[in-house]
Amino acid sequence: MAEPSMNSRKDKVPVVRDGMYVILGASGNTGSIIANFLLLKGEKVRVERRKSSRNLASLMEDPMTHENNLVAVGQFDGNAYESSQAAELTLNGAILRAEIARSYEEFLQIFDKFYADDVEVSSEDSPETIRGKERVRAFLSNFLVPLHVMAEVAGLSVSVQQTEVPRDSANETHSGWKIDFTGVGGSWCTLKWNAIRKWKASRVVYEHHYDHEQIGGPLTEDDLNLNWGCSEAGPQLPS
């Protein structure tokens, strides 16, 4: 396969061989956009900073592998910044490809693959830090299951978007998230927040959410198709 160049710039060049995209200089915003675009298409992606001493041939001999559309990410030359950057891109790409209307289990599989057993999760809106993978998984399930029911059965439209937040520290990544909820009648609610993740190798050991914002809403039962017989104590709507 030919090796395409996106444009004349040489700091953000995806190179293809055997179905693997290698992106040089993906630490900037342009490289991140390219990487996320390719991940959303289900392509295999590897990121490398331009200053890496490894040559292109050696990169191609050590590809990341796919399993159920999730990529196993290992260390990048022992460089903590590059390792966390690659893992962050892969995790975010997997989240964006998953669809809550199709399955909530997809998100739990992503969590199981990328988060450490001793992970800690906190939020500026809560004084409690949730510690341990089992506790965090249970908390996540309590959010995902009713959301899946509302999306699959009751007609709630859910759209997830992610943007990169600049950062410059090893083993720590920052990202911005937005979820748009749209009811059957067109009413909508948008939730926005930022996230900090701390990585150890290819696993998240700490995640903190901050700068929460709600735009529009809250949605009510009138925004759902409840003809399927949901009880009065049905799932809680985004508010």
pLDDT of residue 14: 56
**Tokens standing for 65?**
């592998």
For residue 198, give every residue at least 6 positions away whose Cβ sits within 8 Å of its Cβ, in sequence order, or none: 171, 172, 204, 205, 206, 207
Distance of CA 127 to the CA centre of its chain: 25
pLDDT of residue 7: 42
CB atoms closer than 10 angstroms to residue 49: 19
pLDDT of residue 127: 92
Residue 235 DSSP symbol: P
pLDDT of residue 237: 53
**Tokens standing for 157?**
């439209």
pLDDT of residue 165: 85
Structural class in CATH, domain 102-223:
alpha beta
pLDDT of residue 168: 62
Angle between the 133-152 and 105-114 helix axes, to the nearest 10 degrees? 160
**Tokens standing for 63?**
């590809």
Task: Give, for all 239 residues of the chain, the pLDDT tens digit.
Answer: 444 444 444 444 455 555 666 666 544 445 555 665 565 556 666 665 444 333 434 333 333 333 444 444 443 445 777 788 889 999 999 999 999 999 999 999 999 999 999 999 999 999 999 999 999 999 999 999 999 999 998 999 999 999 988 876 888 999 999 999 999 989 999 999 999 999 998 899 999 999 999 999 888 888 888 765 444 444 455 55
Q: Provide the total of helices (H) and of strands (E) in the chain, helices listed first.
A: 5, 11
Greatest pairwise CA separation for the chain in angstroms: 62
Q: What are the phi and psi torsion angles at 192 (to 5°)?
A: -130, 145
